[in-house]
């Protein structure tokens, strides 16, 4: 564990009420780390749950958009409004009823996006080549292309776990970020107390 940050006077006033309630944020961060770590061991289930959850959100959004269409009579774009709502509901139902098929499709999409982003980053890196540190952008691009390629090589099997893996990693990094913010808030609160006593 890294040592607590040493807050500046500006940082000491930045956190506001968080200085008193940093413990809750620390707890949330630790829970997020635990959930993410547990998620690494059950990426298939996490993938299915996340796809179903996203499908439910799409259905709810589509239904509300359909209901809104009844209030938009006379609007020339009403047909497109209804069509988009029906697509939302249809896609959502497909994801809820067939989460494995949906996760396979989403994984394929993620792989192609990673490759495209990696190529664009590499192009940008070569354009920045005279400047110092341009190779970091190139390295980032290469990593994205390799990740996308690995997902494609393992597809369709990768479609059963890759989304869950990404969510688990996100939970872990999110948790650590909140832990360090909470520790910084606690350090700021201590600095404020010290300043108040010495004043």
pLDDT in tens, 154-186: 888 877 787 787 778 878 887 888 888 788 778
Model's pTM, two decimal places?
0.64
The alpha-helical segments, DSSP class H, found in 9-98 are 9-14, 18-40, 43-69, 78-97
Instruction: State the average pLDDT over residues 38-47.
Output: 82
Per-residue pLDDT tens over the stretch 43-87 = 788 888 888 888 888 898 888 888 776 776 666 666 776 787 888
Confidence of residue 12 (pLDDT cuts 50, 70, 90): very low
Long-range contacts of 193-197 (CB under 8 A, 24+ apart): 195/9, 195/12
Nearest to residue 199, comparing CAs of 12, 5, 6?
12
Per-residue pLDDT tens over the stretch 18-28 = 667 778 878 88
Confidence of residue 15 (pLDDT cuts 50, 70, 90): low
């Amino acid at each position: 564990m890294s040592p607590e940050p040493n807050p500046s006077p500006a940082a000491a006033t930045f956190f506001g009420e968080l200085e008193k309630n940093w413990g809750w944020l620390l707890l949330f961060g630790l829970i997020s780390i635990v959930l993410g770590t547990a998620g690494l061991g059950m990426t298939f289930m996490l993938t299915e749950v996340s796809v179903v959850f996203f499908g439910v959100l799409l259905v709810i959004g589509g239904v509300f958009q359909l209901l809104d269409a009844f209030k938009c009579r006379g609007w020339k774009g009403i047909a497109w409004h209804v069509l988009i709502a029906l697509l939302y509901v249809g896609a959502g139902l497909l994801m809820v009823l067939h989460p494995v098929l949906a996760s396979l499709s989403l994984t394929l999409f993620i792989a192609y996006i990673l490759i495209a982003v990696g190529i664009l980053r590499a192009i940008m890196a070569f354009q920045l080549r005279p400047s110092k540190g341009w190779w970091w952008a190139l390295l980032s691009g290469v990593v994205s292309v390799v990740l996308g390629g690995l997902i494609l090589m393992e597809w369709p099997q990768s479609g059963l776990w890759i989304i869950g893996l990404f969510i688990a990693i996100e939970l872990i990094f999110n948790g650590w970020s909140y832990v360090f913010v909470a520790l910084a808030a606690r350090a700021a609160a201590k600095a404020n107390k010290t300043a108040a006593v010495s004043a």
